[in-house]
Amino acid sequence: MTGSEEQPFRESEGWPLEAAELSLQQLVLESPDIKAFLTELAMLASTRLSVPGNTIHSGVTVLRHKRPQAVAASDPAAWALDELQNGFGHGPCLTALRQGSTLLVPDLAVEDRWRPYVRTAAEHGVSSILAVPLDLAGEAEAVLNLYSGRSNGFSGEDVATVESFTAQAASSLRLILRISQLREARNDLTAAMQSRTVIDMAVGATMAQNRCDRDTAFSILSHASSTRNVKLREVAATVITSISGEQRITAHFDE
């Protein structure tokens, strides 16, 4: 991953942070999901910092169930580097993630921390690393990982730029996470109401067939569910299908 072996993404032309902020806002509107947003974010960061002779590879690691996972990257090399660090379970990016603060390693050749990882990363062509966590206000934990094949591959200005950039990105990502949570809650409610509709219809049909009360009809369906080791909703759907021939029962609130 040395400068002589790689082609830069494109030359940096001093792209202003205002343009980056507008791009992030556009990502919020256009990204179909969180992973898509994070992938675009990694590519945006890579493009913003790469210059001829110093290609920056960018990835995003998220902490899930106390285990780090690479979830997005600007390119395959960045993904591999994130996975490499996650495999060791330690390194500058994971330290930045756990401590919640920016961490710059200007030269891996003189770095004494995380020795097994640093030695392996250097063998993969990495010479400097910048890791900046995203403040997601408790919604999740994530870090933007930046790798350079050059020693001192990140200037003080680069660090300030990335910190400002990630602050804007975190704000956008918090919005996406909340929208996603609301969408999931709505989908869960819709599924629950759909199941309730199917079960109620099946109870009514069972009452009519067996000339029994509601509690008895529900007990019949529950017994069938338990005996066949099939979910109650599936038993109810089978009852409705056998009577009406309808394969899909639609609730009145479906869009």
Fold of 188-244: Arc Repressor Mutant, subunit A (1.10.10)
DSSP conformational letter for 66: T
Residues of the chain with CATH 3.30.450.40: 3-182
CA 89, distance to chain mean position in Å, is 19
Contact 193, 251 (CB under 8 A): yes
pLDDT tens per residue, range 25-62: 454 444 456 788 788 889 988 988 999 999 999 999 98
pTM above the 0.85 mark?
A: no
C-alpha closest to that of 70 among 80, 61, 58: 61
pLDDT of res. 246: 55
Q: CA-CA distance, 102 to 196, in Å (whole number)?
A: 49
Supply the DSSP string of 185-227, one letter for each residue: HHHHHHHHHHHHHHHHHHHHHHHHHHT--HHHHHHHHHHHHHH
Q: CA-CA distance, 77 to 81, in Å (whole number)?
A: 6
Query: For 133-141, what is the mean pLDDT?
Result: 72
pLDDT of res. 190: 57
Fold of 3-182: Beta-Lactamase (3.30.450)
Look at 196 and 252; give whichever has higher pLDDT: 196
